[in-house]
Amino acid sequence: MKNTNYLVLVRHGQSEWNAKNLFTGWKDPGLTDQGIEEAVNAGISISARNIEFARMFTSALKRAQITGQIILDGIDQPHLKTIKDQALNERDYGDLAGLNKDAARKEWGEEQVHIWRRSYDIPPPGGESLKNTAERVLPYFNAEILPRLTQGENILVAAHGNSLRSLVMQLDNLSKEEVIELEIPTGAPIIYTFSGNESPISKENLFG
d(CA 175, CA 161): 17
137 within 8 A of 127, measured Cβ to Cβ: no
Q: Which of 12, 38, 128, 160 is catalytic?
A: 12
Catalytic (active site) residue 90 = yes
Q: Per the residue annotation, which of 16, 52, 90, 177 is the catalytic one?
A: 90
Strand partners, 190: 9, 205
> What are φ and ψ of residue 73, in 5° steps?
-60, -40
Amino acid at 37: E
DSSP 122-186: -PPTTS--HHHHHHHHHHHIIIIIHHHHHTT--EEEEE-HHHHHHHHHHHTT--HHHHTT----T
Q: Does residue 160 carry a catalytic annotation?
A: no
Task: Tally the C-alpha atoms within 13 A of residue 89's C-alpha that lie toward its C-beta.
Answer: 18
Q: What are the residue numbers of the active site?
A: 12, 90
